[in-house]
Amino acid sequence: MLAAAAFWLWLLAPPGLVAEPVGDPVAALEAHQQALFDRMAPSVVFISNGRGFGSGVIVSSDGLLLTNRHVVGDGDRVQVVLHDGASHDGLVQARHEELDLALVRIASHDLPVLPWADLRSLRVGSWVASVGHGSGGIWTFSTGMVSNIYPSGSERPVFQTQIPLNPGSSGGPIVDHNGDVVGIVVAGMERSNSINFAIKGDVVLRAFEQLAPLCDCLVVTTRVGIPVFLDGAMVGKGPRVLLSVDEGVHVVFAVVDGQKVEQRVIWPDEREVTLTQ
**Amino acid at the residue 9:** L
Residue 228's alpha-carbon distances to 70, 189, 264, in angstroms, are 31, 33, 13
By three-state DSSP, how is residue 256 classified?
strand
Q: Is residue 182 within 8 Å of residue 121, measured between CB atoms?
A: yes
Give the Cβ contact number of residue 123 at 10 Å: 10
Known catalytic residue at 100? yes
**Which of 70, 83, 88, 250 does the annotation list as catalytic?**
70
Known catalytic residue at 154? no
**Which of 100, 130, 176, 250 does the annotation list as catalytic?**
100
Known catalytic residue at 32? no
- Helix (H) or strand (E) holding 87, with range, is strand 87-96
Q: Exposure of 149 by Cβ count < 10 A (0-12 exposed, 13-18 middle, 19+ buried)?
A: middle
The residues that bridge with 234 in the sheet, in sequence order, are 229
Q: Is residue 165 within 8 Å of residue 142, measured between CB atoms?
A: yes
**Which of 43, 126, 169, 170 does the annotation list as catalytic?**
170
**Amino acid at the residue 46:** F
Q: Catalytic residue numbers?
A: 70, 100, 170
